[in-house]
A and B are shown apart, each in its own frame.
Chain A
């Protein structure tokens, strides 16, 4: 019994010694692994697909195919991470395998990512910055001057941090198309023509980030006060179909002011006030007045504000220039005669201001 115990103890002690080594190895391995992990570079797959092989050869076993955007850790530590010019040794957690796997991936299909910064790293960099001799600081700032003229005015920032004073950030706005509706308030220039609400529909076609074409229709009615030489009391309806060219100046991806100009065809219709025609009818006369359709020109400005990725709020002001002609006819029912004449220079110039919505595809 005593022997067995001793032998057990000795074997245990031997066993213990073996475990310690293994443990020590593991600990060291983990530390190194952690360190290397903490210092590991990452790559990102930029190709549509990238294969992970068992060896740095396309003829070796294919472990898995990964998609674009997949981020992988480079196996190993330090700056030198590429096994060769063409291959990276990587590891990642494989969904297919259900565990962390290592392998080799072609360098041409990935790009190297900057490692995330740690607090210690920033502090080290700040200290380094402070301890740099003034001259060198100045030289640094002087070096920076050619890059931008506003360096002295800008606050001290990490040289790795992008500066405001550097080249403006490029706004990425893609030309989009859409359909819109809007309501506006139409104010004719002619003093005898009353103002009123206008409603419209438009089709917007983005050609480039700065140019768009819009085809739209607007409809409004104006109450006419009697003009002895112009139109009688009645209602004038105007429906201009307009083709506009927009010059758009996005200030952000969501706010796009524009100016516009264009031409169109205005469909005009006039109806004399029923009370007036009835009065004349009772006396034995008929009055008819017509207004011709006309070409119109317009210019204006507006702003599109993207409130949703597909919906923009629109504000628009524009001035329509339209002159047309008309006719008047005075019929005598009693003796069946007619007097008629032309209405020249009917001024349909109108200022509109309105808001609307656009659905952008």
Chain B
């Protein structure tokens, strides 16, 4: 009896201690919204390939969630991943395949010369199909059809022969992070009258202009022209970014005629350009960018800039705020396990995010194929992107992006939407699925503080900052001309120096209240400088460009460089 009690006492004491320990374990190891349980996590090697070759992987996941777990779960998944939903309609972009009646569709869609007529039939048919599937076309641009489609119809649309690929809309981001007026000596111009100028029309092309009406006659001209290319027509769009940019343009060029144009997706931005050209606008200030494209001056966005330039428009664009968010490298797998090694045996690149900050990662590689004027031929080098979350000393698999790259698809993988309720360390890994070339990667990890692991600022431009027809602007501090470490750097993938010049950032605006940082703030200073000289002198825009290049104050290494360009904006000799 005594022995049993002794054994029982030890047992119960141990049980009590274990219970207390378990009860008081810290509860700081949870992911908000659908946290994956440890027991459900797939191993690092996650088994057979899923997805659809003509559909972006996250849409495949959405569709799978909808089918398996219902509408509500699907909407929650969409909310987590930043997917636009309207009830059970999901906003997507369908890329049409070029179609000619006398030419049968080939496996490869590479066509030497593709015109808009080649897409017209496919786009028309796609539009009809979308309507027939219960969807609604929002806008089209060449081969791109932006629409809202029932989730369950995604696979049907993907199957049609006129569909090349279905993806989420690319949403250019504002480059956020007018002391700049005095710094650039723009105020020297404000004190006297123009000389034989025809005036200047400058457009701020941005995401939203919330509160602009309240600034008319004070921080903005007494009247402005506005136009929204959003599907909902909302010029404000709950976004003050555009208003802050407009304030800076007005500060620099108070005599210029100001136009405010907003959009949400890249397709909407592309459709805006024809209208902007038709209005006789001469200068565009565009403080947005996306990671889409090979960053070599090709692609839809760069072609749009080129079209604007061919119509005499100066397109000023922010370089991007990705210098600390960027890694670049060639696929390296010395241990032949199929995972890229970032350094030595390290196959995970980590980054830290504050609590409630969304994971926003994009991986692309230099296998876009040939740009034929409307689309890239596509990649056949297939890689996936995996996301991990650090728990203790272990990396926990969270998610992956597994778009197919079998020859027609874009070489892009995106993981977006996860966040933690506490500051967390995340990691990404690159897995080779089917590739025979060692491609060069560009990885972007947004929204975190400080540089990511293995940060490489070089080559961190967004698009269309890589366009040779754009004036790309980097950021310097308005007070001391120091380089802002977030300011994206060149060169472009084809070796050109970018940005073209730098301008002040960290300036005051009414819209933000706090200092307005980022290349977003720098860009409107340069656009405003163009507008100022155009509205004050009889010079052409080309002459003004040459003048600004000549007057720029050289910073950094002597001559043009990939941080400051030709120098910091200056308006007086």
Q: Which residues of A contact B (CB under 8 A)?
A: 226, 228-229, 232, 276, 279-280, 282-285, 287, 328, 330, 332-335, 337, 339, 341
Contact = CB atoms under 8 A, between A and B. Distances in A.
Interface in B516-573: 537-540, 543, 546-547, 550-551, 571-573
Contact of B538 (A232, A283, A341): A341
Interface stretch (B189-197, B390-398, B422-430): B189-197
Contacts of A330: 195-196, 537-539
Contact of A283 (B188, B193, B194, B196): B188
Contact of A335 (B195, B543, B571): B543
A334 B551 contact: yes
Contacts of B188: 282-283
Contacts of B571: 283
Contact of B573 (A229, A279, A283, A339): A283
B195 A337 contact: no
Contacts of B547: 284, 332, 334-335
A226 B195 CA distance: 10
Contacts of B540: 339
A335 B546 CA distance: 7
Given A283-B572, A330-B196, 8 more contacts: A226-B193, A228-B194, A282-B572, A334-B551, A335-B546, A335-B547, A337-B539, A339-B539
Contact of B572 (A284, A287, A341): A284
Nearest to B537: A330
Contact of B195 (A232, A282, A284): A232
* A-B residue pairs, 9 tightest by C-beta: A284-B573, A339-B538, A335-B546, A334-B550, A334-B547, A330-B538, A335-B550, A334-B573, A279-B192
Nearest to A226: B193
Given A330-B539, A334-B573, A280 B195 contact: yes
A15 B30 CA distance: 186
A228 B546 contact: no
Interface string B164-202: 000000000000000000000000110111111000000
Contact of A341 (B193, B194, B196, B573): B196
A276 B194 CA distance: 11
User: A-side binding surface: helix, strand, loop or mixed?
Assistant: mixed
Contacts of A276: 192
Contacts, number: 51
A71 B192 CA distance: 87
A280 B196 CA distance: 13
Nearest to B551: A334
Contacts of A279: 191-192
Nearest to A280: B195
Contacts of A334: 547, 550-551, 573
Contacts of B537: 285, 330, 339
A285 to B, nearest CB: 7
Most buried by B among A228, A229, A283: A283
Among B191, B537, B540, the most chain A Cβ lie within 10 Å of the Cβ of B537
A192 to B, nearest CB: 13
A287 B538 CA distance: 11
A232 B192 CA distance: 12
A339 B195 CA distance: 11
Contacts of B550: 334-335
Contacts of B196: 228-229, 328, 330, 341
A328 B550 CA distance: 24
Nearest to B194: A228
Contacts of A228: 193-194, 196
A332 B539 contact: yes
A334 B195 CA distance: 17
A337 B543 contact: yes
B194 to A, nearest CB: 8
Nearest to A330: B538
26 contacts: A226-B193, A228-B193, A228-B194, A229-B196, A279-B191, A280-B195, A282-B188, A282-B572, A283-B188, A283-B189, A284-B547, A284-B573, A330-B195, A330-B196, A330-B537, A332-B539, A332-B543, A334-B547, A334-B551, A335-B546, A335-B550, A337-B539, A337-B543, A339-B538, A339-B543, A341-B538
A69 to B, nearest CB: 78
Contacts of B195: 232, 280, 287, 330
Contacts of B192: 276, 279
Contacts of B546: 335, 337
A282 B193 CA distance: 14
A229 B550 CA distance: 29
A229 B196 CA distance: 7
A35 B521 CA distance: 127
A169 B211 CA distance: 92
Contacts of B538: 330, 339, 341
Given A232-B195, A287-B195, A333 B573 contact: yes
Nearest to B536: A283
Interface string B302-337: 000000000000000000000000000000000000
B193 to A, nearest CB: 7
A23 to B, nearest CB: 113
Interface in B370-420: none
A332 B550 CA distance: 11
A328 B196 CA distance: 9
Contacts of B189: 283
Contacts of B572: 282-284
Nearest to B546: A335
A279 B550 CA distance: 20
A285 B193 CA distance: 14
A145 to B, nearest CB: 79
Contacts of A339: 537-540, 543
B532 to A, nearest CB: 11
Nearest to B189: A283
Which of A232, A339, A341 has its CB near the most chain B CB atoms (within 10 A)?
A: A339
Interface in B470-514: none
* Most chain A C-beta atoms within 10 Å of own C-beta, residue among B196, B538, B572: B196
A277 to B, nearest CB: 11
A302 to B, nearest CB: 41
A339 to B, nearest CB: 5
A333 B550 CA distance: 11
Contacts of A226: 193
A330 B547 CA distance: 14
